[in-house]
Amino acid sequence: MNKAIKQYVQVAPYLALGFIMTCIFVLYPLIKGVYISFFEYKVINPSQSLFLGWANYIKVFHDPIIYIALRNTLLFALVTVPLQWAFGILVAMVINLQFIRFKVFFRLVYYLPVISSWIVVSYLFQFLFADGSSGVVNYLLVDFFHLRDEPIAWLQNTWSANIVIWLLSVWKGVGWVMIMYLAALQSVPRSLYEAAAIDGAKGARTFIHITLPLMRPMTVYVLINLIIGAFQAFIQVFLITKGGPLDSTHLLNTYMFKHAFQYFDFGYAAAISVMLGLLIFIFTYSQQRTFGKDRIEY
């Protein structure tokens, strides 16, 4: 027991501040969020909040828009995660090829969307996909490539609006996947490829049998981050469609935000938030257990 106290005294100067701040501003709000989800919560006067039991959760299952938001959230993950991953790894592999010149330049340019502000690029895409012939994308489709006769009202329809949101998210995320894989690829010893070449392995086979297995820890890490990012996506929908038209492009996250800050129904919003947290936990659980244990030795 004495030893434990001594250890705590030693570590305290380094740990205490970070630990206390995390407890107050991250862990406490988390627990409080779960607590709020059982109430009809009054922000102005919390003591007058009404205990509802499971009512908010029952309401979640009877809310038709929840199912639309759930569908959009799942589709968003299903579309953006594989696309970001595939394009990201493709760009990384190509840049990593021996004969490619200006590697630093390519890396920088592909990373630009990642460091750009979400607000700027969300509004930028809103303009690019503007209705009528004034939007650049419509201009290209109709007047330039003649692929369509009529301009598309991108943001007025559920599916075309969803496509805009997906495109933006993939466009912004590819560079991050690329930079992760570039770093990982650089740590693969060249001798492995030379050995494979001597054994007669060619491009695609080398990629499938050597590169991909060696990248496994990175792939797990990248996929977990992409999945969490997809389920927590918020700002692009919030800024571009605000969930419209007719609440049909909401993600669980934006729908929750609407209930909290537009209807001030914090209890219900908290219940949605808890359900979303559970969903993320389920989808990443199998990876989480190996996460942190996977090390590769060459």
Partner 1 sequence: MRKLMPWVAHLVLVLGIVVVVGPFVYMILTSLTSDNFSLPNPTKLLNSEKSLDNYFEAWNKNHFSQYFLNSLFIAVITMVLSLSLASMTAYAFARFPFPGKEFMFRMFLFSMFVPAILNIIPQFTIIKSLGLVDTYSGLILLYISTGVVGSTFFLRGFFERIPAELEESIVMDGGNRWTIFRSIYIPLSLPAIGTLGIFAFSGTWDEFIVALTLIKTESNRTLPIALQLFRGQYATYYGLFFAASTMALLPIIIIFIIFQKQFVNPNLSEGGVKG
Distance between CA 167 and CA 164 in Å, rounded? Answer: 5
* Minimum distance, C-beta of residue 246 to partner 1, in the bound complex (Å): 22
* C-alpha separations of 148 from 127, 130, 158, 160, 166 in Å: 19, 16, 19, 15, 21
Distance between CA 135 and CA 293 in Å, rounded? Answer: 49
Nearer to partner 1, 158 or 281 (CB): 281
The values of phi and psi at residue 257, to 5°, are -60, -40
Nearer to partner 1, 68 or 267 (CB): 267
Do 22 and 15 touch, CB atoms closer than 8 A?
Answer: no
Nearer to partner 1, 210 or 239 (CB): 239
The values of phi and psi at residue 51, to 5°, are -75, 130
- 78, 94, 197, 246: residue in contact with partner 1 (rule CB under 8 A): 94
Q: Which 114-143 residues touch partner 1, going by CB under 8 A? A: 114-121, 123-125, 127-128, 130, 133-136, 139-140, 143
**∠173-176-179 over CA atoms, to 5°?**
150
Q: Which 168-227 residues touch partner 1, going by CB under 8 A? A: 171, 174-176, 179-180, 183-184, 217-218, 221, 225
Would you count residue 241 as binding partner 1 (CB under 8 A)? no
- Which of these segments, 48-56, 78-86, 95-103, 205-213, binds partner 1 (CB under 8 A)? 95-103
Would you count residue 113 as binding partner 1 (CB under 8 A)? yes
**Looking at residue 50, what DSSP letter applies?**
E
- Which of these segments, 50-58, 63-71, 240-248, 249-257, binds partner 1 (CB under 8 A)? 249-257
Would you count residue 276 as binding partner 1 (CB under 8 A)? yes
Alpha carbons within 13 angstroms on the beta-carbon side of residue 133 total: 7
Q: Which 16-75 residues touch partner 1, going by CB under 8 A? A: 17-19, 21-22, 24-30, 32-33, 36, 43, 46
* Helix axis angle, 266-290 to 55-62, nearest 10°: 80
Nearer to partner 1, 113 or 158 (CB): 113
